[in-house]
Structure 1
């Protein structure tokens, strides 16, 4: 089943094209990575797909619902783990999870149960009573993703989930993300090429608001006749990048 389909999705700001007639499909359960240099149009695309900004032209269909005509339904099906950790620093880990569950309509008993389920699946039991502000960056990112999942979304947008983390914390979070594969459709934006190469089923590469290519890491390497994924990315996303 198709989770996301974009149809000539376009966004202009004061006459400048940020995203130019984007057409692609993402399958349900897929982990799909979005790569590109700064200003490529990744963030603008994610904002349109998550109904944070309206497209200038075109549309996107999220699990059968238009972001133009039915954004409220779309928002019920998705959630976003933003680049900035979305946690309440003075609440404990457990309190953060119960609070978010309550915001999404769970009563007190349901909130406690959802929090317990997430604590178990995200291996947070050792830190449940610690205040969020005392956690390391890696644990804060893990908690932020857990909070985004408490509403049980069918599509999860992860915006730079490991930005600023050390190598060990990054690899630990990769393990968390890998466990989510096939359980929820994940749209990942990252500047770490090795992250996309390790985690994603398919990768899209954008440059100057346009989609240059989509494929698995090996497919993109083959298409560009390069030896490594980094070289393939540069060939597609760099100045004068090719489209294939």
Structure 2
């Protein structure tokens, strides 16, 4: 399953509505990135977009826009947010927003495991599942240890970040994916997602053999930064190719 990553009101209100209307036809799941003033864990494309969006709109404005646009949508939304932004919005405000939109999955980009433990009971109250990030370039032993910790605190959604992994030769991609297959055999009940840095169509084809869920973000958003004339068409065509 291909999961597009989009950012509220990017590249403009009009085009964002157009993007949503297109995605409704072919995609059940989307990742929705909530902008942050200091997106230090993101790549250049996302950083640039987040900073520019927050020059135009405040965080509460973006949240109310999301509620308005997605309340009657059938998308399963995964919220991607820095915990700094949760603090800025107010915890109660944020969790009520999540509850109101019936969001079931959240990624806190900047929270290490020790802090995630403290959030588990609160998230259970709102019936939210945490998705935890693991960099793909870690040694397998460390990845296995992380997954063991996540299982202990009842986190069953693992998101492999591949910014240091994609862009390599096909041979290296397959080699790394085969290692991950060993991990998947040990932890069968875990739901695995792959994202961060997926750019080329050939990468998507290879990753589909190993992952049910692949997130594509900066690549599709980049079209709106580089070529504004045909940006929507390129965005649409790229995703269509990925679906094949």
Shorter-chain TM-score category? 0.3 to 0.5
The structure whose Rg is larger is 1
Normalising to structure 1: TM-score of the pair?
A: 0.37
Structure with a larger share of its residues in strand: 1
Normalising to structure 2: TM-score of the pair?
A: 0.37
